[in-house]
Amino acid sequence: MKIAIIGGGAAGVIAAITAKRLNKKLHVDIFDINKAIGKKILASGNGRCNISNTKITQENYFGENPSFINQALKEFDFKAFENFCKSIGLILDIKDSCKVYPLSNEAKSVVTLLENELDRLEINQILQTKIVDIQKLDEKFNLISVENKEFNGYDRVLISSGLQAAPQLNSTEDGIDIATKFNHTFNPTYPSLVGLHTQFDYKNKLQGVKKEATVTLYIDKQKDKQITGDVLFTKYGVSGFAILDISQYAVYPLSLYQDVTISINLFPTLTRNELLGILQTLFKTLAKSDAVEALTGIIPIKLAVVLLQMNNIDINAKADSINAKQQRAIINTLTNLRLKIEDTQGFKHAEASGGGIRTDEVDNKTYESKLCKNLFFAGEVLDIVGNRGGFNLHFAWASGFLAGKNLAKL
């Protein structure tokens, strides 16, 4: 039996390995545009590869139908993944009590060990080959590359070509185009886990300021989600882990032109009164100093300057000249900095893509298409996207594993 896998990312590679381990007689070809498999694995986790998570539940995933993933998570939970890793010689390390990395701390070792296993199993890698079309004739699939080269006679095909996030790594939406030829439909794709563009006059002045904060998202003025973590002010708006996480909830309403606003509380562990007390003490201690200098006791100097400007206070004002009303205004800005979100940083800077092939057209036990026999899907090309923290790679591994098992079935 001849199997073609379009896309040598996490999903495609684990599918190939799983299928070939179950049936040594299979002929398996993995096609990829890049010179080598696993380009996105290499880029993940800033080169360290946050490869999975020990606490995975459906709540970490989004899409039209997130419960689609439950079967894959049941059959291929963290333990199963750990065993797979051991079988290729990869030892894992758990950080922050749930995030999983290779013990080597290097994404490169993950890709090298996967490549070695592909070689051991004699799985062919047909690289620098962009598949743009599939034709099904007499129960056989023929793949056609962008150069019009044909690869004929496949009994089963897996589309694991991902989506558009990080197009600089040759990411494409070709999988969607190919699937639509077999009557599949898809939900519109959007960049996820991505920085947000804000409408804010002081963007340039705050560039580089980073602080742990609580970010609250408002959609059409209704409170939606709250996340605590790093916020980084940038020249386009905001980034940092709290923002990447909250972007997951902001991007879809943005695409519908809803009003999207965030409120940043830069002192989430203090009450407003506690913060006011600290501020008043500082202003008393440094009464004859510039208010900016006094404020640097609690915030970065760039933020101190902007804080005064935003509240129409002279930046050369002395600490003891800041009256009670101005103090309250400062506290309000520090605990409820409201920013209107205008856009995202786009696919180029996104860690993942939302949207994709509609999951109700795919069997969640086998990952086979319900519309075309012997056509399978796995990974990000499907309308499932996860939170930051190893969830996207875990879905790629888990869905690829299930697809691989069923690709091998006689």
Please give the single-letter amino acid code of residue 385: V
Site map for ligand FAD, 338-377, x if CB under 6 A? Answer: -------------xx-------------------------
Contact pattern for ligand FAD over residues 2 through 21, marking x by CB under 6 A: ----xxxxxxx---------
Number of residues that bind ligand FAD (CB under 6 A): 39
Residue from 18, 31, 341, 408 binding ligand FAD (CB under 6 A): 31
CA distance 335 to 347: 31
78: Cβ contacts below 8 Å, ≥ 6 apart: 52, 53, 54, 56, 100, 394
Shortest distance in whole angstroms from residue 376 CB to ligand FAD:
13
Q: Are 167 and 347 in contact (CB under 8 A)?
A: yes
Q: Please identify, using beta-carbon distances, which residue of 162 and 355 lies nearer to ligand FAD.
A: 162
Residues 85-144 contacting ligand FAD, CB under 6 A: 130-131
Beta-ladder partners of 406: none
How far is 253 from 168, CA to CA, in rounded Å?
26
Least distance (Å) between residue 32 CB and ligand FAD: 4
CA angle 93, 94, 95 (to 5 degrees): 120
Structure tokens at 96: 């922050």
Per CB under 6 A, contacts with ligand FAD among 375-394 are 379-380, 390-393
Task: Please report whether residue 240 would count as binding ligand FAD according to CB under 6 A.
Answer: no
- Does residue 170 touch ligand FAD according to CB under 6 A? yes
Query: Which strand (E) or helix (H) includes residue 156?
Result: strand 156-159
**CB-count exposure of residue 168 (10 Å: 0-12, 13-18, 19+):** exposed
Give residues 204-233 in contact with ligand FAD (rule: CB under 6 A).
Answer: none
Q: Which of residues 284-303 bind ligand FAD (CB under 6 A)?
A: none
Q: Supply the minimum distance, in Å, between the C-beta of residue 76 and ligand FAD.
A: 14
Residue 251 interacts with ligand FAD (CB under 6 A): yes or no: no
Stretch that binds ligand FAD, among 36-44, 62-70, 272-280, 319-327 (CB under 6 A): 36-44
Interacting span for ligand FAD (CB under 6 A) from 39-47, 260-268, 336-344, 402-410: 39-47
Of 163 and 308, which CB lies nearer to ligand FAD in the complex structure? 163
Helix or strand holding residue 84 (H, E): helix 78-88
Tokens of 356: 């994709």
The nearest distance, CB 225 to ligand FAD, in angstroms, is 20
CB closer to ligand FAD, 160 vs 333:
160
| CA proximity to 191, closest of 163, 168, 165 | 165
Helical pair 391-407 and 78-88, crossing angle rounded to 10 deg: 70
Secondary structure in 3-state letters for 262-292:
EEEECCCCCCHHHHHHHHHHHHHHCCCCEHH
Provide the binding-site residues for ligand FAD, judged by CB under 6 A.
6-12, 31-34, 39-41, 43-45, 49-50, 130-131, 160-162, 165-166, 170-172, 174, 351-352, 379-380, 390-393, 396
